[in-house]
Structure 1
Amino acid sequence: MAESHYTLPRAELDKPAKLLIVTAPFYRDIADHLIAGATTEIEASGATHEIVEVPGALEIATAIGIAERLSNFDGYVALGCVIRGETTHYETVCNDSSRALTLLGLQGLCIGNGILTVENHDQAEARANPEKMNKGAGAAAAALHLIALGRKWGGARKGVGFIPDSEDYQIAGKAKDTPTG
């Protein structure tokens, strides 16, 4: 019996989003499947995207960090594939790429992690193929959901502290000129 997984409905965005897909095409066929799934999901949500390639999975987070500092993307989709080999390099790449993306996410970046970590090419194919598990679309959907949450929670503040671009400031919810009596 096949396992059933719940999938959230497509994210609803208040305005279109712009995403950067960062892919490590070490396994070109797998990367192409992941990209196809991600771009279909992004376009179905009304968002736009750009795609950049990096040498390997370890460089994905660095590229996202650079883009966050120097460009204007709303979110990011990390795509790649790490297949276990004969050395411990697999563990290093899996752990460090995931950790780096998590740290960027904790800084507020909206990232969908679609870096596959698998035992063999058949497992990668099953997960990447848009006709099968479609993990590229899942990563894009995750980024879009995080963008929607950020927009929901990033609205106007409720008046505690200083208000940027204003000569007025508020403390504990009261404007400075408001009588306190």
Structure 2
Amino acid sequence: MLHADKGSAGPLDGKGLRIGIVQARFNENITGALAQACRDALQDLGVRDEDITHLLVPGALEVPSALQALAERDAYDALIALGCIIRGETYHFELVANESGAGVSRVALDYRLPVANAILTTEDLEQAVARQSEKGRDAAYVAVEMARLLETLE
């Protein structure tokens, strides 16, 4: 069991948890590193590889739809959203960031299911690279911690 770095009430234990990951392919070098860090952390927390479902979707705007499809199965203790949106020269960045974030939150609230949002929103590629491993690990910790918290509230 590992302790969460950021004020967790105690050790995190992912044994027996079923986790769904939805990864956007757009900016795949970044999202692939996010996914690897996330899966490694989940395994370190005791989540078995066979208890992880990992889906790929085209981009961040498609992540909420796939999360919703997984949530409707009622087979997961937590979900994780992975993506990377890098600011460009147009308003598209704000649209994608806002809409994907709202969609991820909506799935969590509509299904009362923890959804760790690790869709990076950065100014440039350098910022994304600097955050990819840490945010991937953070998403795993959040998913496990929130799944366990919601268990205690049921």
Which bracket does the TM-score occupy, shorter chain normalised? 0.7 to 0.9
Deviation at 1:71, TM superposition (A): 5.3
How far apart are the structure 2 equivalents of 1:71 and 1:147? 13
After superposition, give the CA deviation of every residue in 1:50-88 in whole Å (9 maximum; x if it has no partner): 211001101111101011113511111100000011111
Partner in structure 2 of residue 122 of structure 1: 126
How far apart are the structure 1 equivalents of 2:138 and 2:35? 11
Partner in structure 2 of residue 93 of structure 1: 96
For the pair shown, the structure with the greater C-alpha radius of gyration is 1
How far apart are the structure 2 equivalents of 1:63 and 1:71? 13
The secondary structure found in structure 2 opposite 1:109 is: coil
Question: Where do residues 29-108 of structure 1 align in structure 2 (5 Å cutoff)?
Answer: 29-47=29-47, 48-70=51-73, 72-107=75-110, 108=112
The secondary structure found in structure 2 opposite 1:87 is: coil
How far apart are the structure 2 equivalents of 1:62 and 1:98? 12
Amino acid aligned to 2:106: L
Partner in structure 2 of residue 27 of structure 1: 27
The secondary structure found in structure 2 opposite 1:82 is: strand
How many pairs were matched up? 144
Amino acid aligned to 2:90: T
Deviation at 1:11, TM superposition (A): 2.2
Partner in structure 1 of residue 138 of structure 2: 138
The secondary structure found in structure 2 opposite 1:17 is: coil
In structure 1, runs of 5+ residues without a counterpart are 1-5, 155-181
TM-score, with length taken from structure 2: 0.87
Name segments (4+ residues, structure 1) moved above 4 Å: none
Greater relative contact order structure (CA < 8 Å, 6+ sep): 2
The secondary structure found in structure 1 opposite 2:107 is: helix
The secondary structure found in structure 1 opposite 2:117 is: strand
How far apart are the structure 2 equivalents of 1:103 and 1:136? 21
In structure 2, runs of 5+ residues without a counterpart are none
How far apart are the structure 1 equivalents of 2:42 and 2:74? 19
Q: Aligned residues: percent identity?
A: 33
How far apart are the structure 2 equivalents of 1:29 and 1:71? 31
